[in-house]
Amino acid sequence: MREIAAPTPLGPVRKPPGPVVIWNLVRRCNLTCKHCYSISADKDFAGELTTAEVFGVMDDLKAFKVPGLILSGGEPLLRPDIFEIANRSKALGFFTALSSNGTLIDEAMTRRVAAADFDYVGVSLDGLETVHDRFRRKQGAFAASLKAIRLCRDADLKVGVRFTLTQDNFADLPGLLKLVEDEGIDRFYFSHLNYAGRGNKNRKDDAHHQMTRQAMDLLFDTCWAHTQMSSQRGLQREFTTGNNDADGVYLLHWLRRKFPEKEAHIRAKLAQWGGNASGVNVANIDNLGNVHPDTMWWHHTLGNVRERPFSAIWPDVADPLMAGLKQRPRPVKGRCATCAHLALCNGNTRVRAQQLTGDAWAEDPGCYLTDEEIA
């Protein structure tokens, strides 16, 4: 949106020196949310990496030029050594983020989080109070998480709300966007559910896809309104979307309606960004030290940091999935292969294709664009 308001020259194609690592340090969690991908529970899980092992991996990640670590779980604050890990991460110069459910961040915990100087704290909200507490299966969870967000904001930490869209919380999206505005929260992270839909046949009538389009329109409109306001008032709120790279293409269609003269510039910027980066610029290490192409690929392990350094696992393309993810263009099939926007989207989220069809290179069934929009 800032590029629409104030275009900047085109840079080289995105090629960070190493991947950002999302690190699920602990599987234990004090909540049992309905949509949890790590299927956590409030008990200790055996075999998790020790502090010394985590430190050893961090040294390797540093040498491999990983720019940032997103410390996640489970609930990462339940790891007794989380602040030792965070301090070391900061000392090594990583961009260090904390991904939390927020319910454990009271005044005392905020002081510790602030002292660790996290570069970013992301707190999940699944809707407004009633919906959130139902999703989180805990009354009072929303109040605790919102309190955490306010405490972090007031402690000058950069804080964001992470929201995953489903049919059950769609109605709360406008209210959440208003909350983010009213509370002066730095960032709104909109995540798509890893929804596969029912394939191409029903794409146009698919309720989830229709809902997604409405949500994206609302998000684009809100972000654009904010961008205009921020240029007057100096605010810099960020709106981010994740888990569906068709969003970039949908943005072009939004532009065609609103600012057709900007389409060519934004297309070039999206091409520079390059679309989906699983297995390339985004990596995941789970609580046992297993390495995955991203957090949605826990059923596909590339290696374990106890047996082989991350720096050796990550570039190894002997694994056919990694070979395909790193290939450009990726060996995608179906409508992704013939899509006019493949260079912008990079074939989207391969795990959805794999889960629905068994073939990681099949077209992404989670693409909510019509055949006309990808022609």
Residues that bind ligand SF4 (CB under 6 A): 245-246, 249, 335-336, 339, 341-342, 345, 347-348, 363-364, 367, 369, 374
Upstream peptide bond of 174 is cis (omega within 30 degrees of 0): no
Looking from the CA of 16 toward its CB, the CA atoms found within 13 Å total 17
Q: Which is nearer to ligand SF4, 68 or 334 (CB)?
A: 334
Q: Which helix (H) or strand (E) holds 253?
A: helix 246-258
State the minimum distance, in angstroms, from the CB of residue 337 to ligand SF4: 8
State the minimum distance, in angstroms, from the CB of residue 47 to ligand SF4: 36
- The string of DSSP letters for 201-239 reads GGTTT-HHHHHHHHHHHHHHHHHHHHHHHHHHH----EE
Nearest to 178 by CA among 166, 153, 154, 161: 161
Q: Which is nearer to ligand SF4, 152 or 369 (CB)?
A: 369
Q: Which is nearer to ligand SF4, 100 or 244 (CB)?
A: 244
Helix (H, G, I), strand (E, B) or coil at 24: strand
Asked if residue 24 lies in contact with residue 295, where contact means CB atoms within 8 angstroms, the answer is yes
Q: Which is nearer to ligand SF4, 121 or 246 (CB)?
A: 246
State the minimum distance, in angstroms, from the CB of residue 13 to ligand SF4: 17
State the minimum distance, in angstroms, from the CB of residue 372 to ligand SF4: 12
Distance between CA atoms of 175 and 320, rounded to whole angstroms? 44
Q: Which is nearer to ligand SF4, 89 or 348 (CB)?
A: 348
State the minimum distance, in angstroms, from the CB of residue 250 to ligand SF4: 8
State the minimum distance, in angstroms, from the CB of residue 192 to ligand SF4: 12
Cα 230 from chain centroid (whole Å): 24
Q: Which is nearer to ligand SF4, 29 or 353 (CB)?
A: 353
State the minimum distance, in angstroms, from the CB of residue 254 to ligand SF4: 14
Helix (H, G, I), strand (E, B) or coil at 23: strand
Q: Which is nearer to ligand SF4, 142 or 190 (CB)?
A: 190
State the minimum distance, in angstroms, from the CB of residue 336 to ligand SF4: 3
Strands 159-165 and 120-124: parallel
Q: Which is nearer to ligand SF4, 223 or 367 (CB)?
A: 367
Identify each DSSP E strand in the chain by its residue range. 20-24, 68-72, 95-100, 120-124, 159-165, 187-192, 238-242, 282-285, 290-292, 303-304
Categorise residue 289: left if φ over 0, alpha if ψ from -120 to 50, beta otherwise: left
